[in-house]
Amino acid sequence: MLKQITPQTAQYYSFHTTSSMPTPTYSAPSTILGPTEALKELLDRGCTLATQPWVDNHWSLILWKLAGMVVNLDPSKEANPDEKRWCWAEVIRQLLYRSVPLPIYNLSIHTTSACINQLTSPTPLATDTNAS
C-alpha cells in the first residue's frame, strides 16, 4: 500500500487513530484523521497562520516522504511504537516543524535588510584628512 503513494495520491490517505499502534478490529469505529483534522490540531496548538491549502500541500508531501522512508529505509522500525513513522503523531510533528518560523530565517532576513539599507543609503565619501 505505501509503495503506491505519490504526492498526487497522498492527499487521499488518512489515519484512523491518534495512536502509533493499530486499533484492534473489534473496537468501535474510529475517527478519520486527515488534512482537515490536521488543520484543527495545528490551530488548537496555536499555529494561527496555518490554512487548509497550506496543510493540504504539506500533508501530501509529508505522507509521500514518510511512505518512502518506511518502505525503503528501515521497515522494521514500524513495529516499534516509539520509532514508528507512519502514524498520525509523526505527521502532526512534521506539520508543526514546518509551521514554526526558524530563527535562522529571521536572522537571514534581518541581515539581508541591513545590508541592502547600507548599500542603498547615501553615505558621504570618506576623505583623507592627512593628505597634503
What pLDDT, on the 0 to 100 scale, is given for residue 115?
46
Separation CA 83–CA 90 (nearest Å): 10
What pLDDT, on the 0 to 100 scale, is given for residue 104?
53
Beta strands in 50-131 (DSSP E): none
**Residue 23 belongs to a domain:** yes
Ranges under pLDDT 70 in the chain: 18-30, 101-132
What count of residues does the chain have?
132
What pLDDT, on the 0 to 100 scale, is given for residue 73?
76
| Residue 61 identity | L
125: left (phi over 0), alpha (psi -120 to 50) or beta: beta
The model's pLDDT over 4-31, given as tens digits with 9 standing for 90+, comes to 888 899 889 998 876 654 545 555 556 7
**Residue 122 belongs to a domain:** no
- The C-alpha cell of 45 is what? 496548538
Separation CA 128–CA 97 (nearest Å): 53
What pLDDT, on the 0 to 100 scale, is given for residue 116?
47
**Residue 123 belongs to a domain:** no
**Residue 124 belongs to a domain:** no
What pLDDT, on the 0 to 100 scale, is given for residue 26?
54
Domain span at residue 80? 2-116
pTM equals 0.66
- The C-alpha cell of 17 is what? 487513530
**Residue 69 belongs to a domain:** yes
**Residue 8 belongs to a domain:** yes
**Residue 126 belongs to a domain:** no
Number of compact structural domains in the chain:
1
